Amino acid sequence: MSSALFGEVLQIQDMQHYLLGGRPDVHFQQDNQAVIKIVGNQYSVKLRHCGRVHRVNIASVSALMTEEEQQVSLSYCNTQDQLANPLTKILAPAQWPEALLQLQVREIAT
């Protein structure tokens, strides 16, 4: 989330503000409720190493989520509803049909 926010979202918002005069709303959906709480609290003692090891500044992410000018928000999303779920997790064979449907992968009729 931090990488997308600082690497792409802010630049795209600035470009659209410059070209069109307004910033688009950006809505992050996260399936990890602990991350949502940490971003809401702006700090976690247990994650104080993140800035040094992972180069993620939790306070900066939190600040952008609360700035009205940036129009960035964060909410909970069930893991099963995430489109990237089959690309990041090992799924049981019974879950593949639903995953392929989410990814819009279908057989090509010949």
pLDDT tens readout for residues 62-94 = 888 887 777 888 889 887 777 777 888 888 889
The structure's pTM equals 0.66
pLDDT at res. 19:
92
Let me know whether 27 and 61 are in one domain. yes
Do 91 and 37 share a structural domain?
no
Its domain, for residue 56, covers: 2-77
**DSSP-derived 3-state class of residue 75:** strand
Distance CA(52)–CA(87), nearest Å, equals 28
What is the predicted pLDDT for the residue at 53?
A: 57
pLDDT band at 15 (very low <50, low <70, confident <90, very high): very high
Gap between the Cα atoms of 76 and 30, Å rounded: 5
pLDDT averaged over every residue in the chain: 81
In this structure, are 38 and 9 located in the same domain?
yes
Q: Residues 28, 30, 36, 42: what is their CA dihedral angle, to the nearest 10 degrees?
A: -50
| Residues 52, 41 within the same domain | yes
Tens of pLDDT, residue by residue over 43-64, are: 777 776 666 656 677 778 888 8
